[in-house]
Structure 1
Amino acid sequence: MAATTTRTPIGNEHIDEFLDDVHGLKSDGTYQTRHSDLKNFYGWMQDNGHDDVTELSARDIRKYLIWNDRQGYAPATIQSRYMSVTMLFKELSGIYDVIDEDDNPMENLDYMSVSGLMEGTKKTDDDPDNVVFVTPEEVNMMCEDAPNPQHRNQLILRILFQTGVRVQECRDMKLEHVDRDERSIQIHSQKTDDWRTVWWQPGKVDTLMAMWVDHLRDTHSPAAESDHLFLTNRSEKLGKSRIQEMVRDTAKRAGIQSVLYTDPAGKDHHRITPHAFRHGHCVNAVRNDIDIAFVREHVGHESIETTKRYLQFKEEEIRDAYHRFDTA
């Protein structure tokens, strides 16, 4: 039964859209609970300098839950807010498709580290952001073990790492947006509704792109009707879940995949995903002295603060260099 309570906007586009759907589909009680929980959540966001809900990380959600505990809220209240935020991000990464599943902070949140806050059994301290990323060496290993169609999948792996695009942006790439002379691709972000240009480096992508576009792509049945760069023998467009599955399985074939944790629903969360390629691109760019503002523009972060977290890896390199420095 739809809610009859008057809708009251919170002031955030994505949260209000979610609450509008709850109002239309759920009861008054459910709407009032979700509205109260997410009003609290958005208030915390504003107080802590977060303007864009789609840019929040698992660390941010953890901080929010810890803040609730430190404010003295009861475990049942914290659990309700956890569930409301979980449902919000489920829709943002699902039917709304404004973030990728691998960008969903609730999927990346270590549930066991915060479960005590909702059960009244333990407390937890905050810790640094945990960025899970692939290295250039791991990308090379995965390309060696890429499944068929091998050239297509190798090209996907290289593009994910060299451009740092989101998995849905890779899925949506079209032939007309690829400029092989400039080694660039025009990317439309559903997340921001903006266009940006990404570039790949000379070498391996050039060879793979030429082989795929000029020869192998046309051997797939839907090629003549499809304007997408990546397709299958049955579909004019390669699905997002197919890319995610290919990345996870290829890492396993290469012997470098692992399970980070298993959530309460029994779902395994793996270390190497398309989003780990995006992290890897950013880490590699910073380590190679690309200006942080350029990295932000290239990967399409709305906030420079999101990009700045990768600076920790440059600082690690500086630290290690000084530790190796032989002085008197």
Structure 2
Amino acid sequence: MVETFTTGKRGSEEIEVPDEIAHVLHDLETKLEYNSYRKTKTGILHYLKFCQEKQGTFPTDGNSEMHARMVNSYFEAIRNEGYARETISGRWTWVSRLYQQLSSGLLNGYAFLEEDPFELLEERENKTKQNYLPKESRESKDKRQYYVSKDDLETLCDNITSPAFRNETLLRLMWTTGLRCSEIVHLKVDEINLEENRLEKIYVSKTDEKVSLWIPETTAWYLDQYINGGYRDAFSYAEESDYLFLTNRAEKMHRQTPNKVIKRTAEKAGMQEVIGQTQDEGNRYKITAHAFRRGHGMHLWKDGQTITTISDRLNHSSAKQTREYLPISVEDSQEKLESVSF
């Protein structure tokens, strides 16, 4: 049994999808934000098309080793074809998400693999995403993995754009929690526990779970002033909306708005820089929501917190993902080790 899916928005190519993969795509559609699902679907369908052209079909038997070989062939192929690092990295995330679903037999009735091919690749071939990414210069890597330090945050807040108090509260909350844009814009007022300095049971779409996060006293003060000091009430939809951050035109901030606020603020502070192009040929900027999220993680790491603790804080699926995400240099590690007595 097969189902037909299209690869994109316009000029889309139709691909016949086996029932098992169709189940995965339908499940992910219910769990992911629209843009995340669209990118995930495109990446999975691109991989499926490669398998169909190479094998004639996408095998739906339980041979995990064969799927590991197909994964290896696919990522070697797109690397050799000159795909950008960001594209390969995204495809790695999306295809690995496919196989997580297809190898989770206890959770998914349509799963047919006993082992995750990505785990097999790492365990038996010692291959991870880094093996398939093209080389890049140290300067390019530093710009791509730039993180907002505490001093950077204060400089940005000194150059905040209007509406000033809402935007400063937004940026300080992002930096001191490491929350993603999609999590920030979905925060509701009743999820803010100012008595215990906590965000209560907020939904994390990446891991499909609800978590609670501690927030520092300084951030709690900004939230208290924003919620109870009249700043939030000044917005047109304040009485109608349950959401923490809103605008005069909508009861909930759009998921792209935090990045737009960051971009405008960084430009005003003279800190912004174009560092490349996105997959849809837009500009990639140095200071983004990801730079805030990395800044939170690096601040914790430099303060002595373990990778495991930081991984939990960032709601990553594993400590390994956190190690790849944070730009920890040899110099950073040396600085921490120099304080150790041997």
**What is the TM-score of this pair, normalised by structure 1?**
0.65
Aligned position for 1:309: 324
In the TM superposition, residue 194 of structure 1 has moved relative to its aligned partner by: 0.4
**Partners of 1:263 and 1:166 in 2: CA distance:** 19
**Partners of 2:47 and 2:304 in 1: CA distance:** 48
Aligned position for 2:152: 138
**Partners of 1:248 and 1:218 in 2: CA distance:** 25
**Partners of 1:244 and 1:207 in 2: CA distance:** 23
Q: What is the identity, as a one-letter code, of the residue corresponding to 2:18?
A: R
Structure with a larger share of its residues in helix: 1
8 Å contact from structure 1 (residues 196, 298) kept in 2: no
**Partners of 2:47 and 2:297 in 1: CA distance:** 39
8 Å contact from structure 2 (residues 197, 215) kept in 1: yes
> Which consecutive residues of structure 1, in runs of 5 or more, have no partner in the other structure?
51-60, 93-116, 118-122
Aligned position for 1:166: 180
**Partners of 2:206 and 2:188 in 1: CA distance:** 18
Aligned position for 1:272: 287
Q: 1:228 to 1:16 in 2, by over 3 A?
A: closer
Q: What is the identity, as a one-letter code, of the residue corresponding to 2:20?
A: P
Q: What is the identity, as a one-letter code, of the residue corresponding to 1:171?
A: V
Correspondent of 1:232 among 243, 247, 265? 247
Aligned position for 1:213: 227
8 Å contact from structure 1 (residues 232, 238) kept in 2: yes
Correspondent of 2:276 among 253, 258, 261? 261
In the TM superposition, residue 181 of structure 1 has moved relative to its aligned partner by: 1.7
Is it true that 1:68 corresponds to 2:77 in the alignment?
yes
**Partners of 1:323 and 1:226 in 2: CA distance:** 51
Is it true that 1:33 corresponds to 2:33 in the alignment?
no
Q: What is the identity, as a one-letter code, of the residue corresponding to 2:77?
A: N
Question: Aligned residues, how many?
Answer: 265
Is it true that 1:202 corresponds to 2:217 in the alignment?
yes
Residues 206-231 of structure 1, C-alpha deviation per residue, up to 9 Å, x if partnerless? Answer: 33212210111112121111111111
Aligned position for 2:115: none
**Partners of 2:53 and 2:186 in 1: CA distance:** 34
> Which consecutive residues of structure 2, in runs of 5 or more, have no partner in the other structure?
5-13, 30-36, 98-131
Residues 134-187 of structure 1, C-alpha deviation per residue, up to 9 Å, x if partnerless? Answer: 111111111111111111100110011100001010000001111112211132
Q: 1:247 to 1:234 in 2, by over 3 A?
A: same
8 Å contact from structure 2 (residues 302, 336) kept in 1: no
8 Å contact from structure 1 (residues 286, 310) kept in 2: no
**Partners of 2:23 and 2:147 in 1: CA distance:** 30
**What is the TM-score of this pair, normalised by structure 2?**
0.63
In the TM superposition, residue 243 of structure 1 has moved relative to its aligned partner by: 1.6
> 1:92-103 alignment to 2 at 5 Å?
none
Q: 1:294 to 1:125 in 2, by over 3 A?
A: closer
**Identical amino acids, percent of aligned pairs:** 23
Is it true that 1:286 corresponds to 2:301 in the alignment?
yes
Q: 1:16 to 1:75 in 2, by over 3 A?
A: farther
8 Å contact from structure 1 (residues 184, 199) kept in 2: yes
Aligned position for 1:106: none
**Partners of 1:35 and 1:242 in 2: CA distance:** 38
In the TM superposition, residue 268 of structure 1 has moved relative to its aligned partner by: 1.0
8 Å contact from structure 1 (residues 164, 277) kept in 2: yes
Give SS of 1:225's match.
Answer: coil
Q: 1:44 to 1:151 in 2, by over 3 A?
A: farther
